[in-house]
A and B are shown apart, each in its own frame.
Chain A
Amino acid sequence: MSTSSRRSRVLIVSDHPDRLEQTHQALLHSFPHLHTATTSCGRLLTAEQAPPPPEMRGFTPPNLVLLDFSNQAMASTPSATSILEKIRGLPAMRHIPILVLHPNPLPTDIHTSYQLGANALIPRPIHFNSLVNTLRIMGEYWLETVILPKAAGRGAV
């Protein structure tokens, strides 16, 4: 197995802490050396603000983003599309590949995701084992086959 996944930093964003934990563990299952950052509720905190909030001081911008969203998001959380828009609007993050995981994408979800600059929309399996499998295939391509852009200076989560 290639070691290039060791140098990758993946940011996982989800609207649901339970599913976030599942996706996170499923990804680490196949790629234990990844450096990861996760955030539930989809909040985007810009670490560019000075000084950055204490919990963000150790944050280095990722070189791959996984957006794990569903249509049944908790009411108060932003939607996947608004987060996509926000990431694409941040100079430090706009070149970072974004993969969207969606449990049951409708045609409009597929359209808007690519429209807003998602690099791939992946149907998210419900069973953990299938999820591990899907993320392994995803990672073999995005983490070990392609060359990811270098993480820019201080960016945003």
Chain B
Amino acid sequence: MNEHQKQSEMELEEISVLLIEDSEPDFFIIKKVLSKVKGTRYRIEWVDNFDAAVQAVRKGSFDVVLTDYQLPDGSGLDIIRQAAETNHHLPLIMLTGHQDPHIDNASMDMGADDFLPKEELTPSLLSRTIRHSIFRKKAEQELRESEDRNRELAEFSSAVLHNIGNVLNSVNVSSGRINRTLKESKINSLTKTRELLETNQDNPTFFTEDPKGKMLPRFLMRLADILQSEHNQNLVETEKIRKNLELMKEVIKTQQTHAKHGMELEDLDLREVISDALNVNMAALMRNRIEVQTLYHNDIRVQAQKVKLTHILINLFKNSIEAMNEVPEGSRILTLELTQNKHHQPVVMIRDRGHGIDPANVNKIFDHGFTTKQRGHGFGLNYCYKAMKEIGGTISAQSDGIGKGTAFMLTFPYGSLFDGQSNGFSS
């Protein structure tokens, strides 16, 4: 480091300065002051009017801007305001003849980094001010970048939680169902039957004469059916729980590998992924009496990260279900269409007949934090947008307006289509 500093001192560090100053004598004074600074060479570009200054700020690449307060066609404050808007990385220092605290404050408010009275200019003060303002701008920039990184991380974490929450809901429903089946199980009837048989052990005519005994074979057959169906229901629900836990495990694994972007692309059958996502939302679909229609024109395979794609679909299905809350029960239809566009790219269309989107908001719905739900967070669609981008595809929304339903279109970059000519793939 030290050696590097020495070296750069020997070679003379160069700082390019844009000087906005309408009086030529002042320009020479400042130029002279700057030339006396040891160790640094200042390359000065001088402009003497407002328009030229604005243009220079816009296109030039300067390390720092020094501007006079008074200009014939505008004030230095306006320049500072303009410059702060067009290029907020640029350090701005206001020079003025008057010492007026009002101007000082105003210029700082507009985005100036420092304020120097012309009569106090000395080589060391000016060079120190320039260095500090450059340094401060750089620190500000770094801070902003690190804030961006943190926000991104926070957004990602909230997406992970959001996705786990979706799946967890489905696990909750399944375990509730199992619990209810077990609680209401007819298994107790078997115990009672056992007691009945025990008390009639020595009665040889129990099955032929006793009214209870005569009914017993039919009763047992029916009980067997009921117990079998209870058992099957539990099997179905435990299988769902197992699948959903697997999904959550993958979400967490994704989170851990996010930093490395280490998610592997898989060759996926879109129909399978759609089915997984439908199953996660199945309880809600049935509770809300939503009719699911699918139209699959081809079996299209895409290259994508399975977990991401599943969550995109889970989020979109969930939105559609919620969007149809206020639609009369007979008209709640969710349609999924799997097709290709004219460029032979695989397309998934998800249509609902819900409350639709205000045309003014169609472009905003994918922004982070944008939501029309009373209790929404605005993560869902933003996650979909980003995840779809990472897969290499796009997501877009169409709606004819409020009350006309919404269609989401997922377009994938490429896929392989198995038409009549391709070989195999059936089991």
Contacts and interface: CB of A to CB of B under 8 A. Distances in A.
Task: Report if A and B associate in a common complex.
Answer: yes
Interface string A42-76: 01000000000011101100000000000000101
**Per DSSP, are chain B's interface residues mostly helix, strand or loop, or mixed?**
mixed
Given A17-B286, A21-B282, A24-B275, A38 B426 contact: no
Contacts of A20: 292
Given A29-B427, A30-B427, A17 B351 contact: no
Interface of B: 225, 228-229, 232, 235, 269, 271-272, 275, 278-279, 282, 285-286, 289-299, 329-330, 333, 335, 337, 339, 351, 405, 407, 418-420, 425-427
A59 B351 CA distance: 14
A54 B229 contact: no
A32 B339 contact: no
B291 A39 contact: yes
A36 interface: yes
A25 B275 contact: yes
A34 B271 CA distance: 11
Nearest to B271: A28
Contact of A58 (B291, B297, B299, B419): B297
Contacts of B285: 17
Contacts of B291: 17, 39-41, 43
A127 B292 CA distance: 23
Contacts of A58: 295, 297, 337, 339
Interface residues of A, number: 38
9 contacts: A17-B285, A17-B290, A21-B292, A24-B294, A35-B296, A35-B298, A54-B351, A54-B405, A76-B329
Interface stretch (A1-9, A85-93, A145-153): A1-9
A137 interface: no
A135 to B, nearest CB: 13
Nearest to A28: B271
Contacts of A16: 286
Contacts of A3: 420
A55 B398 CA distance: 13
B279 to A, nearest CB: 6
Contacts of B418: 32-33
Contacts of B335: 55-56
B282 A36 contact: no
A52 B94 CA distance: 68
Given A25-B275, A36-B294, A41 B269 contact: no
Contact of A36 (B296, B339, B427): B296
